[in-house]
Amino acid sequence: MRMTLTALAFLSASATLAVAAPGPAQQAQLDTYATLAKAVDPAFAGFSAEHGKTLFLAKSTTGKPDTPSCTTCHTADPTKPGQTRAGKAIGPMAISMKADRYSIPAETEKWFGRNCDSVLGRACTPLEKGDFITFMVGQ
């Protein structure tokens, strides 16, 4: 029994470690945004989780009035589930809690496209998208 528990503890610890880094599909998405960011700014030197966190928590006055922040629907804790304004549950944004986040480019672009417009009143830049995902990869 003790052996089993130890094995389970080890397995769950390694599982947590395994999802704390981007998977191949998420890395491919980050690489795409890095290429685009470099095209905009040749001095681009990598994404910043700290900038992603700031973007996620920021309050905006330039978007639609009902959605002043990402946190309006996603809560300020990316490891917690959120809720749409209509009441539907939203899975956590952190990849430690939802491993398939940011792994389908069309879905990722769809939600950035909608939500950047709803919250900021404009499209997000490739730099902002990469920063955002980099923050969520570490959560």
Summarize as ranges the residues that interact with other proteins (CB under 8 A).
23-25, 28, 64-67, 84-88, 103-106, 110, 113-115, 117-118
Smallest distance from other proteins to CB 11, Å: 16
For other proteins, give the closer residue by CB, 42 or 87.
87
Which three-class secondary structure state does DSSP give residue 92? coil
Q: Please tell me the distance from the alpha carbon of residue 115 to that of residue 121, in angstroms, as a whole number.
A: 9
Smallest distance from other proteins to CB 134, Å: 18
For other proteins, give the closer residue by CB, 4 or 62.
62
**Total residues belonging to the chain:** 139
Q: Please tell me the distance from the alpha carbon of residue 3 to that of residue 10, in angstroms, as a whole number.
A: 10
What is the C-alpha R_g of the chain? 17
For other proteins, give the closer residue by CB, 48 or 75.
75
